[in-house]
Amino acid sequence: MLKFMTTKTQTAIQQALDCLWEDAIDTNLQLLEENPCDINTLNRLGKAYAAVGDKGAAKQTYQKVLEYDKYNSVALRNLKLLTIAGSNIPTTDLVKEDFIEISGLTKTTTLIKPADKKVLLSLCCKQVLTLTPKARLISISTAEKTYIGSLPDDLSLKLKKLLTQGYSYQVCLKNATDKEVSIFIRELHRPSKKTALPSFTKSHFSK
């Protein structure tokens, strides 16, 4: 049984690292069926609920942790962050696909110049985002045009050129904390000419 529990716990941790939040919810709920008082599992479940936008369930889960350990620092901190972010569940669209890395076609990056923590903590994993080229950088916003950050300088420069050439992209949130936000970019379309390369090949970034 110990080996089984350890394996399932490792699975739950890896699902969180991979931002597979729906799977993480299921796995942690299974663990709680076997050990309803496990604080680590409850904290992981609260994080997963918050990541998919179910902040009401996240709050209830963290409050459950505090019933067992009223000074638990993880639960206390995350409850405070949820209060700052607000309790409304975002109604924005989420991408249905998982984060599958495909060489040359996808890229994960951390944004620079992030928005304030209230904005960042209102975001959901897999939330659809938009690219908006500016004078120097490409800004990243929600579908409601709320700014959340900008692409790094080198990536902004390359994608601005590719966008003018007819490339297009899907962008979604991978992860967000109160200070940092990372996104997932997937190439959707490139020009039909034979010389057009996948967006994120080394050839593009060595020019």
> For residue 195, what pLDDT is reported?
83
Between CA 92 and CA 47 the distance in angstroms is 19
Q: Which of 34, 55, 85 is the last residue of a domain?
A: 85
Residues 117 and 57 both lie in one domain: no
Residues 77 and 123 both lie in one domain: no
Mean pLDDT estimate for the chain? 85
Using an 8 Å Cβ cutoff, are 43 and 75 in contact? yes
What contacts 63, CB < 8 A, 6 or more positions away? 75, 79
Q: Model confidence over 95-131: pLDDT tens digits?
A: 766 677 888 999 999 999 999 888 887 787 788 899 9
Residue 14 is part of which domain span?
Answer: 2-85
Instruction: Reply yes or no on whether the pLDDT at 88 is more than 60.
Output: no
What contacts 17, CB < 8 A, 6 or more positions away? none
Q: Which of 25, 51, 85 is the last residue of a domain?
A: 85
Q: How many domains does the chain have?
A: 2
The CATH number of whichever domain residue 56 belongs to comes to 1.25.40.10
Residues 194 and 124 both lie in one domain: yes
The CATH number of whichever domain residue 157 belongs to comes to 3.30.70.2330
Residue 111 token pair: 């944004």
> For residue 57, what pLDDT is reported?
92
Instruction: Reply yes or no on whether the pLDDT at 150 is more than 90.
Output: yes
Residues 79 and 136 both lie in one domain: no
> For residue 202, what pLDDT is reported?
76
Residues 23 and 67 both lie in one domain: yes
Instruction: Reply yes or no on whether the pLDDT at 86 is more than 90.
Output: no
Instruction: Reply yes or no on whether the pLDDT at 139 is more than 90.
Output: yes
> For residue 153, what pLDDT is reported?
95
Residues 37 and 118 both lie in one domain: no
Q: Is residue 98 part of a domain?
A: no
